[in-house]
Amino acid sequence: MITVPPYLKKGDTIGIVCPAGFMPLEKAQTCINTLQQWGYKVKVGKTLGNQFHYFSGTDEERLHNLQQMLDDDAVQAILCGRGGYGASRIIDALDFKRFKKKPKWIIGYSDITVLHAHLFTKLKTASIHSPMAAAFNDGGSEDEFVQSLRKAIAGKAYSYSCTPNILNRKGNTEGELIGGNLSLMVHLIGSASDVNTKNKILFLEDVGEYLYNIDRMFIQLKRAGKLDGLAGLIIGGFTDMKDTTTPFGQEVYDLIFDKIKEYTYPVCFDFPVSHSEKNYALKVGVKHSLSVGSKRVTLKAIN
C-alpha cells in the first residue's frame, strides 16, 4: 500500500534544496516568488546557490541539507531546485526514520528520479515528478505544466491528454505510475533503489543522449526484465538527441519501438513529460488509468 503525503494548504512551507547539480540562487528567484504568490512559505536550503565544482556542495553538504529538510516538521514539501547528477552519491546515507513517521512531498525530475525510485521501493511513499525551479522563469510560471504542479501539490484531481502517435499501441489499463529519466532508471538497476516494474505503468524520458546509448539502455531494461509484465508504457520526450559521425540509422522513437514491439500492453509515445517545457506533474507511486485510443491518449490519477 502506497502512502500519499498530506496535500498542501495555504500557509504551508515548501523547502528548496539542490541535492545534485549547482543552481545559482537568482535562477530560482522567480520560483520562490511564485510559490509565495500561491500562498506558501518558502524555506531556502543552503545548497541553493552553493557550488562545489559541478555540484551544489560537497556530498556531505548536500546530504546534510536534504536531511535537514526531511527532518524539519515545519516543512511540508521539498522542491528540488534542479537535477543534473549527484543524488545517487548520497541516497544510501539518508535517514528516512522521521520522514516515514511524517511523510512529505518530494518534488522534481531528471536526477531526482533517484529519490522517486527510492521512496517508492524502500518507503512505499508517493512523490511528484514535475518541473523544478528553472521552469518558472521566462513566463513559465503561467504555463499549464508549472500550473499542473500547483494543482498536484494542492491535491486537485488531474487528467492529462495528448494526441496519438503512429507508433502507439492502443488499449486501456490501470496501475501504479512509476518511472522518470531513462538513464537514472537504468543506473538504479541492481541497487537498493531498483524498482519492481511488474504490473506498473512505466514512464520514461531523457535528454542529450546519443542514439546508440538510448538503444543500449533499452536493451538493459529488457535484459533486466523491466519491460516484462508492465501494465502500460509511456514514452515521453527524448529531446536533444545526438548521433555519431557514422549515423546510428534510426530515429529515437523508432529504435525504442523495436525494443517493445513484442509486448502486448498499451504504449503511448510522445507524452508531455520531458526535459523540455512540456512536463506535466505526475504523482509517482499513485494508481493511474491510461487510455491509448485512436483519437486521444489520456492519463488520469485515480487517487
Q: What is the pTM of this model?
A: 0.98
In this prediction, residue 135 has a pLDDT band, given cuts at 50, 70 and 90, of very high
The mean pLDDT value for 283-291 works out to 98
List CB contacts of 280: < 8 A, sequence separation 6 or more: 130, 144, 145, 148, 158, 160, 272, 273
Question: Bridge-partner residues for 177, per DSSP?
Answer: 201
pLDDT digits (tens, 9 = 90+) for 67-124: 999 999 999 999 999 999 999 999 999 999 999 999 999 999 999 999 999 999 999 9
Q: How confident is the model at residue 199 (pLDDT cuts 50, 70, 90)?
A: very high
Domains of the chain plus CATH, in order, are 13-153 (3.40.50.10740), 159-301 (3.50.30.60)
Burial (CB count <10 Å: 0-12, 13-18, 19+), residue 201? buried
Distance from C-alpha of 233 to C-alpha of 180, rounded to nearest angstrom: 12
Residues with a catalytic annotation lie at 110, 205, 275
